[in-house]
Amino acid sequence: MKIYIPYHSVHAGHWIYEGYKNAWKALGYDVEYIKDESDFLKPTPSEYQVMLTEAPLFNKVEGIYNFIEKAQKVYMFVQPNNFPDPWGAHPNFISHSSDKVINTLNELNNVYLWSFTNSKNSSYYDRWKEVHYIPLAFDDVAYRPIQDKEYEYDICYIGGLADNGFNEKMLIMQDYFHELSQLGIKLGVSINQNITLEQEAKLLYNSKIAINLHDNYQHILGLDSNERTFKSLGLNGFLISDNVKEVGNLFPKVPLANSSTKMCELVEYYLDQDLTLEKDNNKELILQKHTYKSRVEKFLTL
């Protein structure tokens, strides 16, 4: 069976679909990237067995309907069509699918809609048919634990500024890292540094504690978590996160901080604890339930 997956060269989409590519391949499937819109039209429709793709492509690729209609299964990522303000007024949060596209996809029985935002009982997807909640996950194929004493830090964080149009993430980072820098502990922090995957794995694996920060809309709505949640637990095993409801739903034992001051208190407390058992349990939980391979298995049950 051949799987077609969209390719992103930058931003979170690159890591997410790379994780899915690795997972499908690890499960024995033949995977091919779709690197631009024209790639959709290269194979004949009968060659499209399973496709992981995104709804906005309907607006860009003439004739894509014929290919999607004849594919065995299409798992299509969709954005909310009714996101709340102030974010819902910005192009970064607006669904780019027209009424025609939405109605077309809703009528196709071989198309299964999904999002990593928890859409259960949510009015944000009210124009779509059922949207399945498939959270992000840990890419256990690409990320391997590598022991290296040079990467032993008290706490670690790896991420980007990820300006969503409101520049909220930068302000949150400035607040939290200013407070954390006052603790006199060894910080392993990489922001927009484009470190290698191996360096990232070493930093997460060898540090005592991983921390996580989310965007402001995630704090307020609490409907999703970033990929760093799963990566941190999968490699490091112990995570302290800012307070996002969906993190608590997925991982009730993860300590959550409502403020930078509270995160500093949690960091100081847990740095003095033996975290070996918690780390082992969390790593096992991630490998059992929260890898991209487990997400692929979820797709195949739809």
Pair of tokens at residue 5: 């997956």
Domain of 282, CATH number, reads 3.40.50.2000
207 with 240, same domain? yes
Structural domain total, the chain: 2
At 48-57, the pLDDT tens digits run 677 788 887 7
* Distance separating alpha carbons of residues 104 and 106, to the nearest angstrom: 5
* % residues pLDDT > 90 (the chain): 66
163 with 201, same domain? yes
Lowest-confidence region among 63-67, 208-212, 282-286, 288-292: 63-67
* Distance separating alpha carbons of residues 119 and 243, to the nearest angstrom: 19
Q: Which of 103, 134, 165 is at the close of a domain?
A: 134
Q: Which of 134, 166, 183 is at the close of a domain?
A: 134
13 with 97, same domain? yes
61 with 111, same domain? yes
171 with 98, same domain? no
At 217-248, the pLDDT tens digits run 999 999 999 999 999 999 999 999 999 999 99
At 17-48, the pLDDT tens digits run 999 999 999 999 999 888 877 777 776 666 66
Domain of 38, CATH number, reads 3.40.50
Residue 183 pLDDT class (50, 70, 90 cuts): very high
161 with 269, same domain? yes
Q: Considering the entire predicted model, what is its pTM?
A: 0.94
For 82, 83, 118, 127, 134, the CA distances from 123, given in Å and listed in that order, are 7, 9, 11, 9, 17
The whole domain housing 272 covers 149-289
Spell out the alpha helix ranges (H) of 127-243: 168-181, 197-206, 216-221, 227-235
* Distance separating alpha carbons of residues 131 and 233, to the nearest angstrom: 27
Spell out the alpha helix ranges (H) of the chain: 11-26, 64-70, 99-107, 168-181, 197-206, 216-221, 227-235, 245-250, 260-271, 276-289, 292-301
